[in-house]
Structure 1
Amino acid sequence: MSKLVVSTFVSMDGVMQAPGGPNEDRAGGFEHGGWSVPYFGEDMGAIMVEQFAGMESLLLGRRTYEIFAAHWPGITDENDPVATKLNAMPKYVASRSLNHVEWNNSHLLRGDVAESVAELKRRSDGEINVQGSSNLIETLQRHDLVDEYRLLIEPVVLGTGKRLFATGTVPAAFKLTGARPTGTGVVFCTYERAGEPRYGSFESAD
């Protein structure tokens, strides 16, 4: 059975919308697109290479698929480890509007998204990684399908935008299994699923 991992850039106040450019996702009138770019340095690049090296397949929503498919097939340098991996690996696309996908080794998920992803996890091995795809992540969270988060937490507060954990997310406990700061102030944190939340009280017994 596969492990489903969500990897994303996220602001200090939890926003994950449009980190890579001003026109990446303007939904809701979002005006801060490209907020992640100033924090991308060499050590961030090394983290991305490490992440892609460990993936067996990629799971994407429609919008992120279209962004990736418009960019990565054009990078044919065999010495580029990210492009080489992305262009070759299996890619699964959750979409109600697409009728076909053309990027090499891409496959449309049909029917109910949560059921399709749960079945994909059961019949696959290795790591299924989700990049971007905020709407898809929201669905995965509501159905408790995420096993691990890899968050690149960036030193910026945006105040508006799509957040990583939206209303309806299933309550869950996680264990911090890694934390690495970068030279630009980003902290790369890995959280693994650790059962249900536990509760207590600081109130005095008196």
Structure 2
Amino acid sequence: MSDSIAGAAGLLLGRRTYEIFTATWPYADDTDPVVAAMNTMPKYVASRTLTHLEWANSTLLGADVAAEVIGIKDRADGEVLVLGSGEFLRTLIEHDLVDEYRLLVFPLLLGGGKKLFDDGTTRRPLALVDTTASTSGVLINTYRRADG
């Protein structure tokens, strides 16, 4: 995952995730390549309430988020990632703007939690294109759109 973040062309973030990240990443050690990437890459933030963004290279998306994300994807020279940002991700899914899913499965039973996909989400067949197990047992499963 560190390689994905370090090599990304930008981040798409919802307001809550942006606020969590901006409280930590700008103050982290920039000698770490992931920290340096997070702090220098373009960040695009979907929010109905924020009016000013403090974190370097952050841009507030306008009211037509779907159109803006299409433009960002067209201009980006590489992957644009969504980290966290569950509510924003559901908007992207609704507008069919997600090309690839990297779903991490942690070896932990919680017994509850938030759903990633809402009831009523349009059916979209996916194909598993890669799976990797970390040394701690986390599975990183990569899915892309499948025909059908």
Do both proteins adopt the same fold according to a TM-score greater than 0.5, normalized to the shorter chain? yes
Q: Is the 8 A contact 1:142 1:168 kept in 2?
A: no
Letter in 2 for 1:182: S
State TM-score, norm by structure 2: 0.92
- The structural deviation recorded for 1:116 is 2.0
State the SS of the aligned residue for 2:29: coil
**Aligned residue number for residue 157 of structure 1:** 109
**Aligned residue number for residue 49 of structure 1:** 2
Q: Does 1:112 align with 2:112?
A: no
Give 1:103's match in structure 2, choosing from 55, 72, 88.
55
5+ residue gaps, structure 1, are 1-47, 197-206
When Rg is computed on C-alpha atoms for both structures, the one with the higher figure is 1
Q: In structure 1, how many angstroms separate the alpha carbons of the residues matched to 2:57 and 2:30? A: 18
Give 1:64's match in structure 2, choosing from 17, 29, 35.
17
**Aligned residue number for residue 134 of structure 1:** 86
**Aligned residue number for residue 121 of structure 1:** 73
Q: Percent identity over the alignment?
A: 53
**Aligned residue number for residue 147 of structure 2:** 195
Letter in 2 for 1:103: W
State the Cα deviation string for residues 93-126 of structure 1 (Å, max 9, x = none). 0000000101000000011222221232233331
State TM-score, norm by structure 1: 0.67
Q: In structure 2, how many angstroms separate the alpha carbons of the residues matched to 1:76 and 1:101? A: 21
Give me the CA root mean square deviation.
Answer: 1.5
Give 1:92's match in structure 2, choosing from 20, 44, 57.
44
Q: In structure 2, how many angstroms separate the alpha carbons of the residues matched to 1:54 and 1:88? A: 12
**Aligned residue number for residue 81 of structure 1:** 33
**Aligned residue number for residue 31 of structure 1:** none
- The structural deviation recorded for 1:67 is 0.6
Q: In structure 2, how many angstroms separate the alpha carbons of the residues matched to 1:81 and 1:152? A: 22
Letter in 1 for 2:144: E
Give 1:177's match in structure 2, choosing from 126, 129, 135.
129
- The structural deviation recorded for 1:53 is 2.4
Q: In structure 2, how many angstroms separate the alpha carbons of the residues matched to 1:101 and 1:107? A: 7
Q: In structure 1, how many angstroms separate the alpha carbons of the residues matched to 2:102 and 2:127? A: 12
- The structural deviation recorded for 1:66 is 0.6
Letter in 1 for 2:39: N
Q: Is the 8 A contact 2:43 2:59 kept in 1?
A: yes
State the Cα deviation string for residues 112-159 of structure 1 (Å, max 9, x = none). 222221232233331110000010011111111100011111122333
- The structural deviation recorded for 1:51 is 1.5
Q: Is the 8 A contact 1:49 1:82 kept in 2?
A: yes
Q: Is the 8 A contact 1:58 1:128 kept in 2?
A: yes
Q: Is the 8 A contact 2:6 2:38 kept in 1?
A: no
Q: In structure 2, how many angstroms separate the alpha carbons of the residues matched to 1:156 and 1:82? A: 26
Q: Is the 8 A contact 1:138 1:166 kept in 2?
A: yes
